[in-house]
Amino acid sequence: MRSILLPKPLLTAALGSVVVLAALGTQSAHAATTQVTAPRASATTNAASAPSARASAVNAAVRVSARASAARTARAATVLTSARVAEARFLELANLIGQSCEPRVFSAVGHVTSEPTPDSTQPVLSDPVPLTTTEQCAAQRHQLRIRKAFAGKETATYEQMRAGLTGLEYPGARIHRMPNFAGKPVARLDLRVGAGRLALEVTYIGHGVMVEAFGAPQDFSVTDVRLKRHLDRPTS
């Protein structure tokens, strides 16, 4: 077969087209490779940063929880401190009243100095127990100061009664709510110190209160003692 000879200008143009097409193919392949690699690099960066973001979120939550816990602890400490202060003030009050009711003070003012002998056979379930002479004296002191404080004051709710009693240095922990009597608030005061038995029931009776003293057994709450009501009018 006889070969066909192309003119030199045509051969040169053809070779030039082949070189251009090869160059374009190389650039396209490089661009495609770059586009595939870029998302992979971005995904790798995001995957690496995800644990760091989660760790930061966890640390922030831990800090918030720690601050909340510290605030709760501070509030609890404040409440505990307030309760201790109130109890200390009450014990000081009870001590002063008790000192004024010692037998030697009784004899100085002409009162009976003998102490009743406790009846060990008397049931102590939820019945009141006898008060000693000193406790009866202390009861009178407490009754007088409570009646004077509430005289002429409107005390239609238990909250008002409780506020009035705490204002007289009786700790909230020693004030116990009782069922209303004829729609009026009733509270009991646990005044027992050591082996003491003194307790009071305070009943609002209209522009004043009735205060009844009774003995509460050591092993029972003052709210568990059954009392017979003896309504009287408050005296100054």
> pLDDT, tens digit, for every residue of 45-73?
555 566 677 777 777 777 777 777 777 77
What average pLDDT does range 29-53 have in this prediction? 55
pLDDT at 34 > cutoff 60: no
User: Between these two residues, 71 and 133, which has the higher pLDDT value?
Assistant: 133
Question: Residue 81 domain-assigned?
Answer: yes
Question: Residue 12 domain-assigned?
Answer: no
According to the model, what pLDDT value does residue 9 have?
52
Kindly give the residue spans of alpha helices, DSSP state H, lying in the chain.
Answer: 8-100, 103-108, 133-150, 158-166
Q: If you average pLDDT over every residue of the chain, what do you get?
A: 75
- When divided into structural domains, the chain yields a total of 1
Question: Residue 46 domain-assigned?
Answer: no
| pLDDT tens figures, 155-169 | 999 999 999 999 999
Find the domain containing 69 and state its range.
56-116+123-236
pLDDT at 32 > cutoff 80: no
pLDDT at 132 > cutoff 80: yes
Residue 165: count other Cβ atoms within 10 Å of its Cβ.
23
According to the model, what pLDDT value does residue 60 have?
79
Question: Residue 29 domain-assigned?
Answer: no
Question: Residue 226 domain-assigned?
Answer: yes
pLDDT at 21 > cutoff 70: no
Lowest-confidence region among 138-142, 205-209, 227-231:
227-231
Question: Residue 6 domain-assigned?
Answer: no
pLDDT at 11 > cutoff 80: no
Question: Residue 44 domain-assigned?
Answer: no
According to the model, what pLDDT value does residue 5 have?
52
User: Between these two residues, 16 and 193, which has the higher pLDDT value?
Assistant: 193
